[in-house]
């Protein structure tokens, strides 16, 4: 089975730009308005993470991507994105839309916590003057709501479930817990790590106190659904001071990426209509024909250009890349069938880019390509390193891999 598509969840207070971020990242039309609770049902779409393409690294002239896209020498690999309804303080007690809709995020592997860094929306998401609300408060209170949602899911019927565990071996206890939470896209190793880090290893879950379960649930959330803070609306002047203060106060505890979703959306739309040339993630864009721009368009583009110079881009692509490559520690590898052409059996050069976890072995990759290939596994040939290795070889980012197999299809 090909690797599972990575799922990115967009969460945050209501009216902070979640849907704007989503639209910019996916170029899908979705309702955006300056008032709370515009989004009710989730928006689901495909965005891309960006990596230098292997065809460039290998000095080839071109490639023929099939499961991904190659633009300007960069490989854009698809990820699934969910944009859900907004939260407010007290959501777990039923305020606003509550937090039950967060169940839509059960499949998320990583969360982008969109924060209004300008402070122009209050605790309830109502528009106020920029600088009025403290984004630090937003960061903490909304993460608390996310943790409460997660705890609610874990704690459902926990008493009955945990009592049944007390006579089992520890290994079996871990398996039962892992099975119970598997619907939240949580892996066994997440459970093992969370139990170890909370010192609940080898204890009896049936006798855990509420605070033990809370501790475990919180750690599990951090490991299985890590989040990064997306400091949005950085184009509003008041955001800058807030951003500095937030960075200072969070120190190294959280990853924070400054963005303007509004500017990214404007750029992608302008590129789509042919006004500019812009590759998502670049720190600049080019105007196709200055004479075709209205005065207003020129002014807007000048502002955006200045912003990008300051922050090295709009930040939207960087937020996605940071979440997937740095936080989830995914790498991109390219399985091929034909070593001399670096292609599939039809001659497509570097057709597939697989997003896999760091530490994935050659054998695991073989299984993803085709179970038959794995059954007859003989060796892996790492084309870019001109190296023949075995099943246990741990793949590196950018590896182009030919699986040599007795049952090979080609
Ligand atoms: N200046 C500025 N405004 C933004 C930015 N991102 C979003 N906005 C504005 O913020 C308002 C809310 O945007 P949405 O994307 O609908 O926010 P949301 O978080 O999805 O809101 P709900 O779905 O209602 O919870 C709109 O007026 C957007 O134009 C940004 O980066 N900069
Ligand atoms: Mg929305």
The full set of domains in the chain, from first to last, is: 7-42+84-150+227-325 (3.40.50.300), 332-405 (3.10.20.30)
Q: Which ligand is nearest to the CA of 37?
A: 1
Å from CA of 399 to ligand 1 middle: 39
Å from CA of 112 to ligand 1 middle: 15
Answer left, alpha or beta for residue 192, where phi above 0 means left and psi between -120 and 50 means alpha.
alpha
Tell which atom from ligand 1 comes closest to the C-alpha of 23: 15
Q: Is the CB of 36 under 6 A from ligand 1?
A: yes
Distance CA 125, CA 146 (A): 17
Q: Is the CB of 38 under 6 A from ligand 1?
A: yes
Q: Is the CB of 281 under 6 A from ligand 1?
A: no
Predicted local distance difference test score (pLDDT) of residue 292: 94
For 338, phi and psi rounded to 5 degrees?
-105, 115
Residue 183, class by beta-carbon neighbours within 10 Å (0-12 exposed, 13-18 middle, 19+ buried)?
A: exposed
Predicted TM-score (pTM) above 0.95: yes
Å from CA of 82 to ligand 2 middle: 11
Q: Is the CB of 249 under 6 A from ligand 1?
A: no
Look up residue 397 and give its DSSP letter.
Answer: T
Q: Output the 3-class SS for 320-332.
A: HHHHHHHHCCEEE
Question: How confident is the model over 90-104, as pLDDT tens digits?
Answer: 999 999 999 988 999
**Residue keyed to tokens 């300056």:** 34
CA-nearest residue for atom 25, ligand 1, is 14
Task: Let me know: does 266 contact 299? Beta carbons within 8 Å.
Answer: no
Q: Is the CB of 227 under 6 A from ligand 1?
A: no
Question: How confident is the model over 36-90, as pLDDT tens digits?
Answer: 999 999 999 999 999 999 999 999 999 999 999 999 999 999 999 999 999 999 9
Predicted local distance difference test score (pLDDT) of residue 28: 84
Distance CA 151, CA 102 (A): 12
Å from CA of 21 to ligand 1 middle: 8
Q: Is the CB of 55 under 6 A from ligand 1?
A: no
Burial code of 318-331, b = ≥16 C-beta within 10 A, e = fewer? bbbbbbbbebbebb
CA-nearest residue for atom 11, ligand 1, is 34
Å from CA of 72 to ligand 1 middle: 30
Burial code of 8-32, b = ≥16 C-beta within 10 A, e = fewer? bbbbbbbbbbbbbbbbbbbbbebeb
Predicted local distance difference test score (pLDDT) of residue 410: 47
Nearby residues of 100 by Cβ (< 8 Å), 6 or more positions away: none
Å from CA of 38 to ligand 1 middle: 10
Strands 256-258 and 227-232: parallel
Task: Show the low-confidence residues of the chain (pLDDT under 70).
Answer: 408-410
**Residue keyed to tokens 């203060």:** 245
Distance CA 114, CA 13 (A): 8
Helices 135-155 and 210-224, axial angle in degrees (round to 10): 110
Q: Is the CB of 43 under 6 A from ligand 1?
A: no
């Amino acid at each position: 089975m090909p690797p599972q598509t990575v799922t990115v969840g967009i969460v945050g207070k209501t009216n902070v730009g979640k849907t704007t971020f989503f639209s910019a990242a996916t170029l899908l039309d979705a309702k955006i308005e300056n008032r709370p609770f515009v989004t009710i049902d989730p928006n689901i779409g495909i965005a891309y993470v960006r990596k230098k393409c292997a065809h460039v690294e290998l000095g080839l002239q071109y490639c023929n991507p099939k499961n991904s896209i190659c633009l300007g020498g960069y490989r854009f690999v698809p990820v699934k994105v969910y944009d859900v309804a907004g939260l407010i303080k007290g959501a777990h007690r039923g305020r606003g839309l509550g937090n039950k809709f967060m169940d839509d995020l059960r499949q998320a592997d990583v969360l982008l916590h969109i924060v209004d860094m300008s402070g122009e929306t209050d605790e309830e998401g109502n528009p106020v003057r920029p600088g009025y609300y403290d984004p630090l408060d937003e960061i903490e209170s909304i993460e608390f709501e996310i943790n409460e949602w997660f705890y609610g899911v874990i704690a459902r019927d926990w008493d009955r479930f945990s009592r049944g565990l007390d006579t089992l071996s520890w290994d079996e206890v871990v398996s039962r817990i892992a099975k119970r939470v598997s619907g939240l896209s949580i892996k066994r190793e997440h459970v093992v790590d969370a139990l170890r880090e909370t010192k609940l290893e080898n204890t009896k879950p049936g006798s855990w106190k509420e605070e033990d379960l809370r501790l475990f649930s919180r750690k599990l959330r951090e490991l299985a659904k890590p989040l990064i803070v997306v400091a949005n609306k950085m184009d509003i002047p008041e955001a800058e001071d807030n951003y500095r203060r937030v960075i200072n106060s969070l120190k190294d505890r959280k990853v924070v990426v400054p963005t303007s979703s509004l500017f990214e959306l404007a750029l992608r739309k302008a590129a789509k209509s042919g006004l500019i040339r812009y590759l998502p993630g670049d720190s600049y864009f080019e105007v196709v024909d200055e004479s075709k721009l209205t005065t207003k368009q020129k002014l807007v583009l000048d502002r955006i250009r200045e912003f990008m110079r300051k922050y090295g881009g709009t930040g939207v692509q960087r937020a996605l890349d940071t979440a997937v490559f740095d936080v989830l520690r995914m790498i991109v590898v390219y399985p091929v069938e034909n070593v001399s052409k670096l292609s599939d059996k039809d001659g497509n050069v570097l057709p597939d880019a697989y997003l896999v976890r760091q530490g994935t072995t050659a054998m695991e990759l073989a299984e993803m390509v085709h179970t038959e290939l794995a059954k007859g596994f003989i060796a892996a040939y790492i084309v870019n390193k001109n190296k023949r290795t075995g099943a246990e070889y741990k793949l590196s980012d950018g590896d182009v891999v030919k699986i040599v197999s007795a049952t090979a299809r080609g």
